């Protein structure tokens, strides 16, 4: 493959990746999910805590859409966690979650 062909292939791959990430984020937001810093997640054991969740970007977790495997600071374990919608949480649950933050790395 020539250098030009390689550049075109990489640019196309990047473009497709960006488009998929954009679509996934928009679709999830349409369902009431919020992304970014300090979003509330619930682990498999029911622990609520705050984490940073940026669609398609992750350095500390294995991801499967709205579920990912990461460290839970409440139970001190690694577990599948899933993103919570604000409207599905009671004020007490939000308060409980705000007491636990992970390290802020996506």
Residues near Zn ion (CB under 5 A): 43, 45, 47, 72, 74-75
**Residue (75 or 106) nearer to Zn ion, CB:** 75
63 in Cβ contact with 44 (< 8 Å): no
Minimum separation from the CB atom of position 36 to Zn ion (A): 22
Minimum separation from the CB atom of position 41 to Zn ion (A): 10
Specify burial of residue 89 (Cβ count, 10 A radius: 0-12, 13-18, 19+): middle
Residue 54 sits at the vertex; the CA angle it makes with 48 and 55, to the nearest 5 degrees, is: 110
**Residue (2 or 103) nearer to Zn ion, CB:** 103
**Residue (47 or 68) nearer to Zn ion, CB:** 47
**Residue (38 or 45) nearer to Zn ion, CB:** 45
Specify burial of residue 94 (Cβ count, 10 A radius: 0-12, 13-18, 19+): middle
Minimum separation from the CB atom of position 75 to Zn ion (A): 3
Query: How many of the other CB atoms lie within 10 Å of CB of 3?
Result: 7
Minimum separation from the CB atom of position 105 to Zn ion (A): 18
């Amino acid at each position: 493959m020539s250098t030009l062909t390689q550049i075109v292939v990489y640019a196309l791959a990047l473009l497709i990746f960006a488009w998929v990430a954009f679509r996934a984020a928009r679709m999830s937001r349409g369902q009431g999910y919020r992304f970014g810093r300090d979003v509330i997640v619930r682990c498999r054991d029911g622990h609520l805590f705050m984490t940073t969740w940026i669609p398609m970007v992750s350095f500390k977790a294995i991801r499967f859409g709205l579920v990912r495997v990461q460290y839970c600071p409440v139970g001190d374990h690694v577990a599948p966690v899933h993103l919570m919608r604000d409207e599905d949480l009671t004020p007490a649950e939000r308060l409980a979650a705000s007491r636990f933050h992970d390290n802020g790395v996506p």
